[in-house]
Structure 1
Amino acid sequence: MEAHQLALSLPTTLAAASEARHQAVDAIAGWGLGLGTEVVHAAELLISELVTNAVQYAGTGSVSLAVCLDEAILRIEVCDTSPVLPQPALPDADSEGGRGLFLVAALADRYHAEPTETGKRCWAEIDLTSKPSQEVACFLPFQRS
């Protein structure tokens, strides 16, 4: 399978996740690979959660998104300027947020967060050769790889 990729620099605004989702889904559809709605919807949600977290914690720094399909792996990477790695915790029942990393854990076949020279990189991968499981398992901390 031919490699395809998209790279975006995103504003650190509330609209960043929406912009990233739309541009990435358009790009994935434009690759013409017929990945299927389950894969595209999973990628869309992963992008949304990872970009939202980056914008929330990057402050005024930069946020970038890279989506790459190489062989049978769809990889989503979001980089930001905060050196603080995600620390998932169980949210209170009344909390409006705090569930994003659980969604990442449930949707991705592999995911990780790692420091970079300028902040951090959070990534998630969807293995296109694996069959969807009926079980959803979440592993903490956000260090599964």
Structure 2
Amino acid sequence: MQLEIRPDPAEVGRARRWARSRLAGSGIGADEPLAETLILLVSELVTNAVVHTGRPAVLRLSLPGAATEGATVRLEVADSSSCAPVPRCADGDATGGRGLALVDGLADRWGWSPEGAGKRIWCEIDRCAQGGREATSAFGGGTSAFEGYEGLGYEGLAYEAV
């Protein structure tokens, strides 16, 4: 399933509505924590594409069947900008700069790869009953994507989708 996104901030709301309808169609209830987390991830990744590239993008959502325990839900946003996503340090008064920290905190895995003249940013959430997330770097290896970004202020923070 995919949705074409125009380079307009209003598209973020449309992407959330589209994702909600796809989740409902796959048997994931709107009030389930998985749905709330996925909608937040859609919002962050689409916002990044719209704000930072100013170019059209494509949102893709891969949903396993509702009864598939332990399956993986994958979200991707592809755009035509070759600029890599860069984690930023946002102080307490900043109105932006926390998107990748949220993605890193909420997804089981995330990363990005070049695609043609642009890139694809992706994240995955495992549909399983057990808690905890496997920290996998967006840049390879088995650590958080923020390892090596000393002083960004993300250490010790917990994220919860409410």
| Global fold match (TM > 0.5) | yes
Measure how far apart 1:120 and its partner are.
0.7
1:19 corresponds to: 14
Pairwise CA distance, 1:113: 1.2
In structure 1, C-alpha distance between the alignment counterparts of 2:8 and 2:130, rounded to whole Å: 36
Post-superposition offset of 1:93: 2.3
Question: Displacement, 1:16?
Answer: 1.1
Match of 1:140 among 117, 142, 146: 146
Q: Which residue of 2 aligns with 1:58?
A: 53
| Contact residue 20 and residue 47 of structure 1 kept, 8 A | yes
CA distance in 1, matches of 2:131, 2:94: 29
CA distance in 2: counterparts of 1:130 and 1:35, whole angstroms: 17
Asked if structure 2 preserves the Cα contact closer than 8 Å seen for 1:66 and 1:78, the reply is yes
TM-score w.r.t. the length of structure 2 is 0.75
Whether contact under 8 Å (1:106, 1:138) holds in the other structure is no
Residues 104-145 of structure 1: CA deviation (Å, up to 9, x unaligned): 0111000001111031100000000262339x996416xxxx
Q: Distance in 2 between matches of 1:33 and 1:95?
A: 34
The size of the alignment, in residue pairs, is 134
Amino acid at match of 1:140: F
Query: d(CA) in 1 for partners of 2:87 and 2:28?
Result: 34
User: What are the residue-to-residue correspondences of 1:1-145 with 2, within 5 Å?
Assistant: 6-33=1-28, 37-59=32-54, 61-70=55-64, 72-129=71-128, 131-133=130-132, 139-140=145-146
Q: Which runs of 4+ in 1 moved over 6 A?
A: none
- Are residues 35 and 110 of structure 1, via their aligned partners in 2, closer, same or farther at CA, if it must alter by over 3 Å? farther
Extract unaligned runs of 5+ from structure 1.
1-5
Quote the RMSD (CA, aligned, Å).
2.3
Question: How much does 1:36 deviate?
Answer: 6.0
Structure number, greater radius of gyration: 2
Unmatched segments (≥5 aa) in structure 2: 136-142, 148-162
Query: TM-score scaled to structure 1, two decimals?
Result: 0.83
